[in-house]
Amino acid sequence: MKRDIYLRILFIPLLGVSLPVISGLIYYRDHTTIELLAANAFFILTSFTIWVGSHWMHKRFRVLFPAEANPFIKIVTVCAASSLYGASIGGFSFLAWEKIAGRVFSQNTGLRFIALCMLAVIVFTLIYEILFLSTERERDTKLVNEMGRDLSHAELLALTNQMDPHFVFNSLNAMNHLILTNPMQAHLFNNNLALVFKYFLLNKTRELIPLADEIKFINNYFFLLEIRYEKKLQLHLSLGDSYKSILIPPCALQILIENAIKHNEFSTERPLLINIAMNGHYLKVSNNLRPKPYSINSTNIGLKNLSSRFKLICRKDILIEKTKDQFTVKLPIIKHL
């Protein structure tokens, strides 16, 4: 851990210098500068030995406890083992210092130094436990976020793929009808249908595409519809220039156009008017409302699919407005970052 390096650099020298002074093993007035430097080096080495050994014991003891183990028992065990190690090294260092210094210290001084070593070990063992828990939590949070993104992508892919059967079914029905009634138009329909399918296959796994690309696709798609329905459909675009910086889920507009055709009746005299326009924070797709008088077998994908895709991608939902004569769906605008 990067934080471990900072702790070592700061506290190993600090403890090596301060503990012998606090416990009474070193009095600065009794030593020369060279002797003080040597003494500090000796106790910094003691501090380093205690720190490294306690840290090693901390890591080894932690893995002996399962994740569901009582954390209090785990911490007490680690602290007890580490403090005993610290006391042993502190006692050995105290005896060695007596030999080096050439003097005998009181028993209380030795016990005080050992107790300070144990206290330091316990404090920093608790600090390390906090750091370990913090690191584990960060790792778990990162893992959960990654799993959430993977799940969202999987859900989005599943939602996108739901369009395939519906779109293919309608296209093949149209092709079958044109082959029987107008072979030349069937040929033209087939060429444009290939472009439409190419667009769909290239973009169906993408979350977002430029709105400009979607509009080109819609123009090709609507050309197919005009051949199929002749003059019974009309499409009006009112987007201005700002639409070039906007993103949209692929085939989002196609779903709304297909939905309008599926649920409304129309004729040459009373065509279905579909308008796509920018409207503040939304891309508005509306059509005149003339519901079919009979029930329709629906897969219930359309608007629900679109709503789910926008929620997964931008955490916003589509807005649906319905009046007596007009049906409108507002798609949240997603701009390039």
Does residue 190 or residue 275 have the better pLDDT? 275
Instruction: Work out the average pLDDT over 156-169.
Output: 57
> For residue 174, what pLDDT band results from cuts at 50, 70 and 90?
confident
Main-chain dihedrals φ then ψ at residue 327, nearest 5 degrees: -120, 125
Contacts of 39 (CB under 8 A, 6+ apart): 20, 26, 31, 97, 101
User: Would the pLDDT of 136 be above 80?
Assistant: no
pTM as predicted: 0.53
Instruction: Work out the average pLDDT over 326-335.
Output: 92
Give CA separation, 31 vs 26, 34, 38, 251, in Å: 8, 8, 10, 84
Say which amino acid occupies 96.
A
pLDDT value of position 105: 85
The fold of 162-335 is: Heat Shock Protein 90 (3.30.565)
CA distance 302 to 252: 9
120, 121, 123, 124: CA torsion to nearest 10: 110
For the chain, count helices (H), then strands (E). 9, 8
pLDDT value of position 166: 59
Neighbouring C-beta atoms of residue 124, cutoff 10 Å = 20
pLDDT digits (tens, 9 = 90+) for 269-324: 999 999 999 887 899 999 999 988 765 555 556 788 788 888 878 888 899 999 98
DSSP category for residue 333: P
CA distance 33 to 43: 15
- DSSP letters, 269-292, are SSPEEEEEEEETTEEEEEEE--B-
DSSP category for residue 295: -
Tokens linked to 25: 């093993």
> For residue 74, what pLDDT band results from cuts at 50, 70 and 90?
confident
- Secondary structure percentages of the chain, helix, strand, coil, to 5: 70, 10, 20
Q: Give the whole-number percent of the chain exceeding pLDDT 90.
A: 15
pLDDT value of position 140: 65
Does residue 62 or residue 35 have the better pLDDT? 35
pLDDT value of position 152: 55
Does residue 131 or residue 307 have the better pLDDT? 307
User: Would the pLDDT of 6 be above 80?
Assistant: no
pLDDT averaged over every residue in the chain: 81
DSSP category for residue 277: E
Domain residue extents for the chain? 2-146, 162-335
> For residue 211, what pLDDT band results from cuts at 50, 70 and 90?
very high
Instruction: Work out the average pLDDT over 223-241.
Output: 85
- DSSP letters, 88-149, are HHHHHHHHHHHHHHTS---HHHHHHHHHHHHHHHHHHHHHHHHHHHHHHHHHHHHHHHHHHH
- DSSP, collapsed to helix, strand or coil, labels residue 233 as strand
